[in-house]
């Protein structure tokens, strides 16, 4: 998967299917420092009637934000697709200036090879 390296961060795009609707989401951070994956709630036609849990994200420095955790249909990072995974939705763009971040809940499912020389990430499923 191609990535951009900007302001010391790895920026990627993901494809998401939520409530049967597919979309392409750019400007997400590939974030090995985050325990979870979250996207901005305004990027989807959010279904408040779908089963969910409320969680609190705590960032470095103690900043917090409440997010809604829900199961999505699919998320694809380049050629790798995961089905029926839970991610978090919150006011990510306003608070952090990004559309979302891919965290260790998803990244830990792969061996990850990051090649800065040609701006490529290779994901190999574990097991």
Distance CA 69, CA 113 (A): 28
Residue 111: give the domain boundaries. Answer: 4-125
- Over residues 65-112, the pLDDT tens digits come to 789 999 999 999 988 999 999 999 998 887 668 999 999 999 999 999
Beta bridge partners of 112: 123
Nearest to 82 by CA among 56, 114, 115, 105: 105
Does residue 61 surpass a pLDDT of 70?
no
Are 108 and 82 in contact, with CB atoms under 8 Å apart?
Answer: no
Amino acid 95: pLDDT: 66
Domain count for the chain: 1
CATH of the domain at 112: 2.40.70.10
Amino acid 56: pLDDT: 81
Determine the 3-state secondary structure of 62 from DSSP: coil
Q: Answer whether 0.85 is exceeded by the pTM.
A: yes
Amino acid 59: pLDDT: 65
DSSP string, 7-31: TTEEEEEEEEEETTEEEEEEEEEE-
């Amino acid at each position: 998967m191609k990535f951009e390296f900007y302001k010391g961060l790895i920026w990627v795009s993901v494809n998401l299917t939520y409530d049967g609707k597919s979309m392409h989401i750019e400007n997400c951070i590939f974030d090995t420092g985050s325990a979870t994956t979250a996207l901005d709630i305004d990027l989807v036609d959010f279904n408040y009637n779908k089963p969910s849990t409320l969680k609190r994200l705590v960032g470095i420095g103690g900043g917090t934000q409440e997010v809604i955790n829900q199961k999505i249909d699919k998320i694809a990072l380049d050629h790798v697709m995961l089905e029926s995974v839970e991610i978090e939705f919150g006011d990510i763009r306003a608070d952090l200036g990004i559309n979302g971040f891919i965290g260790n809940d998803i990244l830990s499912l792969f061996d990850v090879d990051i090649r800065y020389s040609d701006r490529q990430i290779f994901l190999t499923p574990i097991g």
